[in-house]
Chains A and B, each alone.
Chain A
Amino acid sequence: MSLWWLIAGMTAITFLNRSGFILLAGRFELPPWLRRGLRYVPAAAITSVVAPTLLLDHGSLDLTPGNLRLLAGAAAALVACRSGSPVATIAVGMLTLYALQAWSD
Chain B
Amino acid sequence: MSSPRAEFVAGVTRIAPALLGTVPFGMMIGVASIAAGLPVGPATAMSCVAFAGTAQLATLQLLNAGAPAAVILLTVAIINLRFQMYSAAIAPHFRHLSLPWKCLLGYLLSDNGFALAIVRFNREPNLPHRHWFYLGACVTLWLTWGLGCLAGIFLGAQVPPEWSLDFIIPLIFIGIVAPQINDLPHVAAALTAGVVAIAAAGLPYNLSLIAAALAGIGAGAIVERVRA
**Are A and B physically bound partners?**
yes
**Pairwise interchain contact B61-A53, C-beta atoms closer than 8 A:** yes
Known: A40-B186, A48-B216, A72-B167. A14 touches B179 (CB 8 A): no
Mask of A1-22 contacts with B, CB within 8 angstroms, 1/0: 0111111011101110111111
Q: How far is the CA of A5 from the CA of B179 in the complex (A)?
A: 35
Across chains A and B, the number of contacting residue pairs, with CB separation under 8 Å, is: 271
Does B208 interact with chain A (Cβ within 8 Å)?
yes
Residue in contact with B61 in the complex, picked from A19, A49, A76, A94, CB distance below 8 Å: A49
- Chain A residue with minimal CB distance to B88? A21
Q: How far is the CA of A24 from the CA of B45 in the complex (A)?
A: 28
Mask of B72-98 contacts with A, CB within 8 angstroms, 1/0: 110111111111111110111011000
- Chain A residue with minimal CB distance to B62? A49
Total residues of chain B contacting the partner, CB 8 A: 92
**Pairwise interchain contact B176-A14, C-beta atoms closer than 8 A:** no
**Pairwise interchain contact A14-B45, C-beta atoms closer than 8 A:** no
**Pairwise interchain contact A23-B102, C-beta atoms closer than 8 A:** yes
- Chain A residue with minimal CB distance to B110? A18
- State the majority secondary structure of interface residues on A: helix
- State the majority secondary structure of interface residues on B: helix
Question: How far is the CB of A97 from the nearest CB of chain B, in Å?
Answer: 6
Question: How far is the CB of B76 from the nearest CB of chain A, in Å?
Answer: 5
Contacts of B12 in A (CB 8 A): none
Contacts of A54 in B (CB 8 A): 170
Q: How far is the CA of A49 from the CA of B143 in the complex (A)?
A: 28
Does B155 interact with chain A (Cβ within 8 Å)?
no
**Pairwise interchain contact A48-B177, C-beta atoms closer than 8 A:** no
